[in-house]
A and B are shown apart, each in its own frame.
Chain A
Amino acid sequence: GENVEQHPSTLSVQEGDSAVIKCTYSDSASNYFPWYKQELGKGPQLIIDIRSNVGEKKDQRIAVTLNKTAKHFSLHITETQPEDSAVYFCAASRGSGNTGKLIFGQGTTLQVKP
């Protein structure tokens, strides 16, 4: 079946450093790629997303890049802060069209040390 691979599974950085999380996907028809942040005991919360007609998108300290040819996309967080510590999930749409039917990666636990 279609899947999304996410790396690394854990990431520890010093406050102020950058963090990068990478994902690859297998479904050529996927055209929507969101990133979610999940804190303990909470549901995932969308932090940024990108659609297949765009190669890069930035929102303050967060940016996402997409390479459709290679089927991979990445999350970049700059100037990390302790409150960025959480589990981050990438996802890809199951086919095109519906952006709610998603295949999620396995998650990355980000720890930002003060």
Chain B
Amino acid sequence: GAGVSQTPSNKVTEKGKYVELRCDPISGHTALYWYRQSLGQGPEFLIYFQGTGAADDSGLPNDRFFAVRPEGSVSTLKIQRTERGDSAVYLCASSLYETGELFFGEGSRLTVL
């Protein structure tokens, strides 16, 4: 498929556990974004990568959240010591360049029990 791919599509975990969410952007897209969407709300910006570096991580809610993109393609969002309030759909999006159209994946639904 040519779209943004996110895995897992669903993740259920217990409070306090560690979680990793993966995003595979469209091939050749240099810009990659993570958003979080709570039930009934619009997506909220978390972090933006240009290439391998996190160009803007101002949306990360606290230091339990971290994201990497080591080779400038696949990205992993990491959440430590999960809390029930972290339950949401985590969306990844990519664009060809930072002023291009944003393409979203279908999201990873995280449920923290």
Contact = CB atoms under 8 A, between A and B. Distances in A.
Interface in A46-74: 46, 49
Contact of B91 (A43, A46, A94, A97): A43
Nearest to B47: A101
How many chain A residues sit at the interface, stated as a range, is 20 to 34
A104 B98 contact: no
B42 A99 contact: no
Contacts of A94: 45
A99 B91 contact: no
A44 B91 contact: yes
Interface string B35-50: 0000011111100100
A100 B41 contact: no
Given A44-B43, A94-B45, A105-B42, A99 B104 contact: no
Contacts of B31: 98, 100
Which residue, of B99, B101, B107, has the highest number of chain A Cβ atoms within 10 A?
B99
B104 A100 contact: no
B106 A100 contact: no
Nearest to B105: A43
A43 B104 contact: yes
A97 B91 CA distance: 22
A101 B33 contact: yes
B14 interface: no
Interface string B83-102: 00000000101010011111
Interface of B: 4, 31, 33, 40-45, 48, 56, 91, 93, 95, 98-107
Interface of A: 4, 6, 32, 34, 36, 41-46, 49, 89, 91, 94, 97-107
24 contacts: A4-B42, A34-B102, A36-B104, A43-B4, A43-B105, A44-B43, A46-B102, A46-B103, A89-B42, A91-B42, A98-B48, A98-B56, A99-B99, A100-B31, A100-B93, A100-B95, A100-B98, A100-B100, A101-B48, A103-B45, A104-B42, A105-B42, A106-B41, A107-B40
In the A-B complex, the 9 residue pairs with the closest CB atoms: A104-B42, A43-B104, A98-B98, A43-B106, A100-B33, A99-B99, A89-B42, A44-B104, A100-B102
